[in-house]
């Protein structure tokens, strides 16, 4: 194989060396070759090898331990340059993935869950919805809750990037987003899509009055201390082993009970599961389906067999376990119906249901009143 251009030039330079591997520095410099050392007007073969390495490094290459006694095994300059460029492209891609370049980062602590149910170091990035997402959104059937749910997830799938820390060992996905945080992130994407405020969402507070909606003015969820005392920092969930009833009786569970924040991925799988079973006219345990989102940690690996195993693992549940699950389910159900907080003319804080002018489609479309 031919030598690299740098080595060929240096070879011509090295022909001026004597048999003792020394040369005078009066040799004419060669373009592209580093000047020789000026120590004693001599250069050793070690200096020459060092110059080769630095010259190749400057060209975006690295010496890869090639045996100088077998020059035919050395790849061409073009081959090594192409490989170096490919490595750099991969490095840039990794940096984009790691840092969310081109996206806007959301402070995870501003989420309704405060980010406490995600792996430590998780980052969320969003981008504005583009024509493709808006077109799909415009076809949403507002009368079908299932279609609205699918369309919201469509926006998240394309406009949200979830980055887990490398130490977690998993690649994040929009389906890792907690359901409680979903609407907040949707509003953040909307704000990014309409950055100049030229499409404000209006919330009706009376028959005649309406106020612009801001995501920071929505009361999503507040975990009370009596629930937060069961928060498990290590497992990013609630873990209950013992609790005290209202009658003051201390109750000990047979096994620790883990309560997980429902994720988009788990809810999405359960929805598909129910639709499939219904079409096949198969029996479904409707009671367990309601509590399943709280008992399934991850959507990854979730299939019919795994779901059956989870049901069987709950066979030992008694009054205590079901009481705990129902308590948490009530709290999360209330959180799924956030309220809009505002101040009336007298300065008193008031709440109102989220009732958008123009309907749910106005999240990513202009209302007809603004167009006519």
What is the per-residue DSSP string for 228-272?
A: HTTEETTTTEEEEEEEE-TTS-EEEEEEEEEEPPPBHHHHHHHHH
Residue at a domain's end among 39, 63, 98: 98
Is 89's pLDDT higher than 70? no
**Across-strand partners of 162?**
124
Is 221's pLDDT higher than 60? yes
Residue at a domain's end among 98, 116, 132: 98
Asked if 181 and 328 sit in the same domain, the reply is no
Asked if 126 and 150 sit in the same domain, the reply is yes
Asked if 120 and 183 sit in the same domain, the reply is yes
Asked if 46 and 84 sit in the same domain, the reply is yes
Residue at a domain's end among 60, 75, 98: 98
Count up the domains in the chain and report the number: 3
Asked if 210 and 349 sit in the same domain, the reply is yes
**Across-strand partners of 178?**
263
Mean pLDDT check: name the lowest of 160-164, 181-185, 245-249, 309-313: 245-249
Residue 174 CA to residue 156 CA, distance in Å, equals 6
For residues 79 and 68, the model is more confident at: 79
Asked if 323 and 282 sit in the same domain, the reply is yes
Asked if 20 and 91 sit in the same domain, the reply is yes
Which residue, 295, 293, 321, is CA-closest to 310? 295
Asked if 25 and 49 sit in the same domain, the reply is yes
- How does pLDDT run across 185-219, given as a tens digit for each residue? 999 999 899 877 667 787 777 777 788 877 777 77
Confidence of residue 50 (pLDDT cuts 50, 70, 90): low
Highest mean pLDDT pick, 12-26, 80-94, 283-297: 283-297
**340 within 8 A of 204, measured Cβ to Cβ:** no
**Helix pair 179-193, 264-279: axis angle to 10 deg:** 110
- What is the structure's pLDDT at 73? 54
Domain assignment of residue 283, given as a range:
225-335
Asked if 83 and 144 sit in the same domain, the reply is no
Question: What does the block give as tokens for 328?
Answer: 């948490």
Question: What does the block give as tokens for 292?
Answer: 């399943």
Residue 40 CA to residue 57 CA, distance in Å, equals 27
Which residue, 153, 138, 152, is CA-closest to 265? 153
Asked if 125 and 151 sit in the same domain, the reply is yes
Asked if 212 and 81 sit in the same domain, the reply is no
Asked if 86 and 27 sit in the same domain, the reply is yes
């Amino acid at each position: 194989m031919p030598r690299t251009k740098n080595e060929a030039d240096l070879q011509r330079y090295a022909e001026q060396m004597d048999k003792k591997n020394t040369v005078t520095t009066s040799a004419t410099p060669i373009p592209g070759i580093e000047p020789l050392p000026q120590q004693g007007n001599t250069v050793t073969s070690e200096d020459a090898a060092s110059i080769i390495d630095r010259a190749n490094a400057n060209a975006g290459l690295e010496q890869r331990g090639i045996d100088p006694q077998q020059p035919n095994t050395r790849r061409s300059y073009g081959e090594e340059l192409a490989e170096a460029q490919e490595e750099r492209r991969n490095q840039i891609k990794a940096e984009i993935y790691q840092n969310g370049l081109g996206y806007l980062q959301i402070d995870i602590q501003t989420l309704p869950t405060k980010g406490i149910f995600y792996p430590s170091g998780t980052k969320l990035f969003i981008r504005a919805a583009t024509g493709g997402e808006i077109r799909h959104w415009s076809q949403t059937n507002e009368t079908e809750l299932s279609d609205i749910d699918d369309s919201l997830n469509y926006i998240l799938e394309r406009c949200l990037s979830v980055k887990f820390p490398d130490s977690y060992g998993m690649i994040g996905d929009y389906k890792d987003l907690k359901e409680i945080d979903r609407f907040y992130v949707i509003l953040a994407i909307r704000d990014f899509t309409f950055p100049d405020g030229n499409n404000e969402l209006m919330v009706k507070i009376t028959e005649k009055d309406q106020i612009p909606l801001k995501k920071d003015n929505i009361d999503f969820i507040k975990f009370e201390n009596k629930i937060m005392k069961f928060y498990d920092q290590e497992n990013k969930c609630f873990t209950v082993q013992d609790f005290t009833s209202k009658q003051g009786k201390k109750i000990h569970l047979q096994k620790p009970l883990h309560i997980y924040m429902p994720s988009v991925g788990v809810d999405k799988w359960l929805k598909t599961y129910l639709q499939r079973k219904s079409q096949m006219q198969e029996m479904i345990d409707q009671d367990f389906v309601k509590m399943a989102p709280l008992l399934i940690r991850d959507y990854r690996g979730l299939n019919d067999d795994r779901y059956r195993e989870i049901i069987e693992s709950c066979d030992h549940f008694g009054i205590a376990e079901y009481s705990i699950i129902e308590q948490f389910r009530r709290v999360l159900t209330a959180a799924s119906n956030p309220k809009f907080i505002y101040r009336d003319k007298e300065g008193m804080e008031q709440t109102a249901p989220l009732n958008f002018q123009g309907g749910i489609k106005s999240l990513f479309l202009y209302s007809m009143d603004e167009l006519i």
